[in-house]
Amino acid sequence: MKTFIGILLVGLLGFLGCSGSNDGTSTASNTVGEAIPVAPFGIIETSNPTYKWTPVPWATKYRLLVQDTNQTTTTRDTNETYIVDESYTAEEAGCELEDGFCEATPDAEIIGQNVFKVQACANDECGLWSELLKFDFSGINGPRFTDNGDDTVTDKNTKLMWSKNANLCGLKNWEDACSYCGGLTLANHSDWRLPPIHELWSLIDKHQFNPALPPGNPFMNVKSDHYWSSTTDAEITSRAWYVYFGSGYEGFHDKSYYYFYVWCVRDIF
């Protein structure tokens, strides 16, 4: 079992993204950082979803809160406003090894528009609350993906636009991946970016393989391989999260590694 030495409340480590540090700093020696919500995201297909988030170094337990969007302006820690308010040990969430997502499926149905957040704790000392991740259980009409006819695809589920070609620039390291998407002009849009882990993972269909994408999607040149996200690893900031599109698993790797693919995204609202 890990020995907890002390605690420092560290904010925004997971959200540094492409502007994050690449100095190799480890936060695992005496800190509890901020978890990053991953799923659900966008429009979900079940009223009893499985929630996923990134593990945090030294965390022994996590508190998961789910709240109706209309109640998010109420007192931040008022239990009566929450649909879900549950705690899970790292073992119960399946992420005691900190090499993959934590996850939990509370026995609570949700309807309409909601948000969720996670707080990591080391025994009785807790870090910062994560940012909110919005999701909606309301369904969408028609196909999820729209081929815009200009080398882009719109995902009506998440309100994101992706490049239709999932291999515009070949293999790159993390910094070059960030720079490529940040400098891309495609379909008269110049606000492209490397997706954070929750956006990249939102494309995954765990029932599919090679690639693990929803059936009938219009994308082309999708590699059943590793793709960079913009999300920096909370433990060692010289690493970033990736998604493997062969089977849909996730992990992190050193940002200097030159052999991951790049898929650019932009917001459409």
Strands 42-43 and 133-137: parallel
Confidence at residue 124, expressed as pLDDT on a 0 to 100 scale: 87
Q: How many other CB atoms are found less than 10 A from the CB of residue 193?
A: 17
| Tens digit of each residue's pLDDT (9 = 90 or more) over 118-170 | 999 998 899 999 999 999 998 888 899 999 999 999 999 999 999 999 999 99
Residues 6+ apart with CB under 8 A from 227: 166, 200, 242, 243, 244, 245, 260, 261, 262, 263
Instruction: Count Cβ atoms within 10 A of the Cβ of residue 78 and give its class: 0-12 exposed, 13-18 middle, 19 or more buried.
Output: exposed
Q: Which two tokens stand for residue 196?
A: 């954070």
Tell me the torsion sign for CA atoms 4, 123, 105, 53.
negative
For residue 24, is pLDDT > 50?
no
What CATH class has 145-267? Answer: alpha beta
Each domain of the chain, given as residue ranges in start order, spans: 17-137, 145-267
Residue 13 banded pLDDT, cuts 50, 70, 90: very low
At 63 the three-state DSSP class reads strand
Q: Cα–Cα distance between 210 and 34 in angstroms, integer?
A: 32
| Tens digit of each residue's pLDDT (9 = 90 or more) over 64-78 | 999 998 765 544 444
Residues above pLDDT 70, as percent of the chain: 86
Q: How many other CB atoms are found less than 10 A from the CB of residue 21?
A: 12
For residue 15, is pLDDT > 60?
no
Candidate from 3-12, 183-192, 201-210, 259-268 with smallest mean pLDDT: 3-12
Confidence at residue 80, expressed as pLDDT on a 0 to 100 scale: 55
Confidence at residue 33, expressed as pLDDT on a 0 to 100 scale: 86
Mean pLDDT taken over the chain: 88
Q: What are phi and psi of 179, to 5 degrees?
A: -65, -40
Residues in the chain: 269
Question: Which position has the higher pLDDT, 172 or 124?
Answer: 172
For residue 201, is pLDDT > 70?
yes
Q: Do residues 158 and 66 lie in contact, with contact meaning Cβ atoms separated by under 8 Å?
A: no
For residue 49, CA distances in Å to 83, 99, 122, 133, 214 come to: 13, 22, 26, 14, 18
CATH 3.40.980.10 fits domain 17-137: no
| Tens digit of each residue's pLDDT (9 = 90 or more) over 75-106 | 444 445 799 999 999 999 999 999 899 999 99
Residue 200 banded pLDDT, cuts 50, 70, 90: very high
> If you write DSSP's letter for every residue of 85-127 in order, what string do you get?
EEEEETTTTT-TTSSS-EEE--S----EEEEEEEEEEETTEEE
Confidence at residue 31, expressed as pLDDT on a 0 to 100 scale: 62
Residues above pLDDT 90, as percent of the chain: 77
